[in-house]
Every structure is written in structure tokens, then in C-alpha cells.
Amino acid sequence: MAAKPIIAAHLINLLTYCVCSSKSYSTEPVPTPTPWPHQFHSILFMNYSGSLQIIDLWYDWPNGRNFNIIQNQLGNLLYDLEWNNGTSFLYTLDSSKECKTSQLEVGILRPNWLDGANYLGQKYVDGFLCNVWEKVDFIWYYEDVVNKRPVHWVFYTGRAAHVMTFEVGAVLEDAKWQAPIYCFEKKEEEKNNKLQSLIVSDS
């Protein structure tokens, strides 16, 4: 009796093997990731070693901007706004009025940022059959085999995204892309400090 499940398992392995090997002989091209739509809105469920977040992602390539609005579980709401000129603003809109500005060498992700990824085959993730790719040991990307929507991705750090919604063509209104005034005041302060130190060192 106990042998039966084992034989069944072998059969399944054999079948899987046959399916796989027949595939490798077929002339079907290796699947490539679908480029990102030029504008979309997506709600992402994030899990980074048990730290959970909901991210509202607004990708807007024609306008050169990308927005991650990050709700930490029972924590703060963070706005991570990136421009294609490399400037990004990370801020809160509550009374803490925090803002951190940074300047990166690169802009936002291009719609074809997954070009050149290595195809790893198919796998079920979150209950969806996906094509899987890996890019430069940085990201593992899972896309629905049937409708080509992203389902899941994992960064090398283990930070994982589960795509909950994917609204192609959705655009966030312009006014929402305005970083708050204190993001710019700080800069002025820094400038003033620099000016002051210049004045002081001159005297």
C-alpha cells in the first residue's frame, strides 16, 4: 500500500519531465517579460521579513514620474516620489513634516526595464501560473502566463511584492505629485547655511 503514493509521485515526476523535455524541443521562443504599460496604478502588498506594507504605485512614464505611497502596517504613511531627472522626495504629510530629498544618477524605471532578464520557466505563485525571470541577481519577476500581468516580484533582499490590482492607463492627478513646501524649505536652509559659512569664512 505504502508503495503506491511513491509510484504515483514518480509518475508525476516522469510526466513533468516529459512535458518539460518536449517543451525544450519545441520551436516556441523563450518568453520575454511584457514591458510595463506607460501609465498604470497598482496596489501592492509588500512583505519584508514579516514587516508588512501596502503600496499605492503610480507609474507615469510619459510624465517622467513614479510614486510609491507606502502605508506601513499600523505605522506611518510615507510618500516616495521619484522624477526622471534623478530627484526623489521621501516625505510624510502629517504633523511631523519630514522630507528627505535625494539625487540619483538614474531616473525612474523604463517601461522595458526587464529586457534581458533570464527566463527561469513557469511556477505557480499566489495561485497564478506565472512565467518567471531573474534580472542581474537583483529581482525575480513573476508574470501571469495567460494575461501577462505582473503577479509578484522579489528583490534579492527578500522584499516581496504581491500585485493586488493592476489598472492600466490610470493616472494620478497632477496636484498630487506636488512635494510639500518643507521639502524645498530645507534646501533653502541648507543654501542659507552654506551662504552663512561662506560669509563667516570670508570675514
Ligand X SMILES: *[C@@H]1O[C@H](CO)[C@@H](O)[C@H](O)[C@H]1NC(C)=O
Query: Is residue 34 close enough to count as binding ligand X by CB under 6 A?
Result: no
Please, which residue, 16 or 192, has the CB nearer to ligand X?
Answer: 192
- Residue 157 binds to ligand X (criterion: CB under 6 A): no
5, 29, 50, 62: residue in contact with ligand X (rule CB under 6 A): 50
Q: Which of 13, 73, 85, 165 binds ligand X (CB under 6 A)?
A: 85
- Per rule CB under 6 A, is residue 127 in the interface with ligand X? no
- Cα separation of 90 and 101, whole Å? 6
Q: Residue 111: left (phi > 0), alpha (psi -120 to 50), or beta?
A: alpha
Structural contact between residues 100 and 90, judged by C-beta atoms closer than 8 angstroms:
yes
Selected binder of ligand X within 27, 49, 96, 203 (CB under 6 A): 49
By the rule CB under 6 A, 95 interacts with ligand X: no
CB of 72 to ligand X, least distance (A): 14
82: Cβ contacts below 8 Å, ≥ 6 apart: 65, 66, 67, 68, 88, 104, 107, 108
CB 191 to ligand X: min, Å: 13
Short-list 93, 116, 114, 117, CA closest to 177: 93
